[in-house]
Amino acid sequence: MRPELAYVVVRCHAMRAELLAPEVMKALVLTKDLGEFLELLSQTPYGEEVGERGRLVSATKLEKAFNQNFVRRLERIVRVCPGDLSEFLQTYYYMRLEIHNLKRILRGKFSKLPIDRIRDFLTSLGPYQPVFFEDLLMAEELGDFISLLSRTPYAPLEKSLVLCEKYDILWPVEARLNYLYVEAVQGVLSKIPRADRSRVRSIVETEADVENLLLAINQRGVEKVLAPPEGVFQQAYGFSPEIFKELIECRDLGEAIKGLASPYTGILKPILEEDAALVRANLRRHIYEMAGRMRERDDFGFPCIFSYLSSCEAERGELVAIAWGKEQGVEPKRILAYSVLPAYAT
């Protein structure tokens, strides 16, 4: 282990005690409603955040609180990391959150949601937030939105603008955001140990592939003139780019998905039932397990740090999903089907 990593690793081991055990997560899923969920959650390390139950009465507010808790945990690690590792973590995690904010703004404005409502969904990134989201919220047109990003890593979005404006669609911008994220992470992989680079690269590439496959599948049945795949999907990482076109045009989606390499077939299987939420749950499980296998190999170096933060991110995702499920009255057994961590309960 690099000597300068010793303190960070020790801190990650200590902070693991704050994570919710799979058994606790399962108990949260099995609560009967949002009130009981909050009551049980108040008895965990999240108690201080949900103590004022009148302040957190909606899934939207809970999601924001869970996101901010993750950011605080991340900041506690980033600020004590050596410079090279800090740069990697900022790109890998903060840019992911930043892109999530950008997509939330785009989808909200495209759906004509009130600005205050869109703002409620955004996660504050504090000093690690180079993009000023308030200006983006006020942009009246997609072109104005993209122009405001001209001096940021998202400037290449301009290449997708013509297609979006011509057909009044957003997904070409979303696809390019997925690519920009992969490119950014690939650009800082040299900041982490060589032994860990291939697994991290695989994680981010698989995530981008799955998100872009979902975008392609969503175009089935739409007039083909709307968006030629070759103008949107620049590349694929785990299969031939031709797959995107095949998924859009094929008659038998199941057969097309079966033809994908592992792990895509297993992750995407629920889309045959039009269940994109379960696809993303499968993706979360894949990432969580990959990070865990890295830690099994080395629990006193970068994999320890990466696995801890991946566990924090998985916990955040689980709590958000449970909160929305409770608010919408989804049966606990149904929520369990979308859960990752309770599956590890003993």
Backbone angles phi, psi at 222, to 5 degrees: -80, 150
Question: Could you read off the pLDDT of 251-272 as tens digits, one per residue?
Answer: 899 999 998 989 999 999 999 9
- Residue 107, C-beta contacts closer than 8 angstroms, at least 6 positions apart: 170
Mean pLDDT of the chain: 90
Query: Which residues lie closer than 8 Å to 161 by C-beta, 6 or more apart?
Result: 142, 143, 146, 173
- Tens of pLDDT, residues 147-188: 999 999 999 999 998 888 888 889 999 999 999 999 999 999
* CA separation for the pair 194, 303 (Å, rounded): 12
pLDDT digits (tens, 9 = 90+) for 187-213: 999 999 999 999 999 999 999 999 999
Question: Where are the domains positioned within the chain?
Answer: 3-344
Predicted local distance difference test score (pLDDT) of residue 55: 61
CA 286/CA 304 separation, integer angstroms: 17
CA distance 326 to 30: 10
What's the confidence (pLDDT) of residue 1? 63
What mean pLDDT do residues 38-44 have?
92
Q: Are 110 and 118 in contact (CB under 8 A)?
A: no
Instruction: Label residue 225 by pLDDT band (50, 70, 90).
Output: very low
pLDDT score, position 291? 96
Backbone angles phi, psi at 167, to 5 degrees: -110, 5
CB-CB contact of 137 with 108 (8 Å): no
291 by Cβ neighbours in 10 Å (0-12 / 13-18 / 19+) ranks as: buried
Residues 85-98, mean pLDDT to the nearest whole number: 95
Closest-CA residue to 90 (of 103, 101, 77, 102): 77
Q: What is the residue whose two structure tokens read 């013509």?
A: 162
Report, as an integer, the average pLDDT of 286-295: 96
Angle between helix 95-110 and helix 171-187 axes, rounded to 10 deg: 170
The reported pLDDT for the residue numbered 148 is 94
Contact 177, 157 (CB under 8 A): yes
Quick one: residue 129, left, alpha or beta (phi over 0 = left, psi -120 to 50 = alpha)? beta
What tokens appear for 132 in the block?
Answer: 């000023």
pLDDT at 50 over 90: no
Band of the pLDDT at 21, cuts 50, 70, 90? very high
Joined together, the tokens standing for residue 116 give: 């205050």
Distances in Å between the alpha carbon of 274 and those of 104, 218, 221, 332? 22, 9, 14, 20
Per-residue confidence (pLDDT) for residue 136, from 0 to 100: 94
3-state helix/strand/coil string of the chain: CCHHHHHHHHHHHHHHHHCCCHHHHHHHHCCCCHHHHHHHHCCCCCHHHHCCCCCCCCHHHHHHHHHHHHHHHHHHHHCCCCHHHHHHHHHHHHHHHHHHHHHHHHHHHHCCCCHHHHHHCCCCCHHHCCCCHHHHHHCCCHHHHHHCCCCCCCHHHHHHHHHHHHHCCCHHHHHHHHHHHHHHHHHCHHHCCHHHHHHHHHHHHHHHHHHHHHHHHCCCCCCHHHCCHHHCCCCCCCCCCHHHHHHHHCCCHHHHHHCCCCCHHHHHHHHHHCCHHHHHHHHHHHHHHHHHHHHHHCCCCHHHHHHHHHHHHHHHHHHHHHHHHHHCCCCHHHHHHCCCHHHHCC
Looking at residue 169, its pLDDT comes to: 87
Q: What is the pLDDT of residues 240-253, one digit of tens each?
A: 988 998 898 888 99
